[in-house]
Amino acid sequence: MPYDAEILVVGCGNILFKDDGFGPEVIKALEEYFKDKEKPENVMFIDAGTGGPHFVFSLPHEQWKKMIVVDVVEFNAEPGTLRKFEVTEIPKGSYENMHTWPVSQPLHELSEKIDVVVIGCKPEEISAPNVEMGLTPPVKKAIPRAIQMILEEIGVSK
């Protein structure tokens, strides 16, 4: 099992389509944050790219206790706004990620076995199908706050 940690932080998205790359950019920033700090041994950061549903659809390993999904989420807010979603807040069938995979049902099923939260960022622009790399300014500015939210979720004080 390649993902042998109790807590998985999974960044989902495609860096080729502007703000859709939020999840992978947060994972990169987390790795940079822990470059000179001790990362908890029970935590693994995963840049899942567009393969995020693979993690969701995978049967959870008995070692898994918590999965923190980091992704862009469409909700009524200003671009760059972050919100923690509990799976129970996501109506079944309502959360379709930007990668055309329906993930709300597998998230609900996974949450019956482990703790699952989604750290969602309201995107300003998803450029797909046009390739445009780089986050928009409001979404890029949300990265430090996302890291703080994740540190709280994994029990690390900043």
Please write the tens of the pLDDT for every residue from 61-112. 888 999 999 999 888 899 999 999 988 776 555 455 545 556 667 777 888 8
Find the range with the poorest average confidence among 41-45, 111-115, 117-121: 111-115
Question: Measured between alpha carbons, how far is 74 from 47 in angstroms, rounded to an integer?
Answer: 21
pLDDT tens, position by position, 22-49 = 999 999 999 999 999 999 999 999 998 8
- Two tokens at 43? 């935590």
Q: Is the pLDDT of residue 142 over 50?
A: yes
- Two tokens at 113? 């076995």
Local structure of 45: helix, strand or coil: strand
Q: What is the pTM of this model?
A: 0.89
Per-residue DSSP letter, 60? P
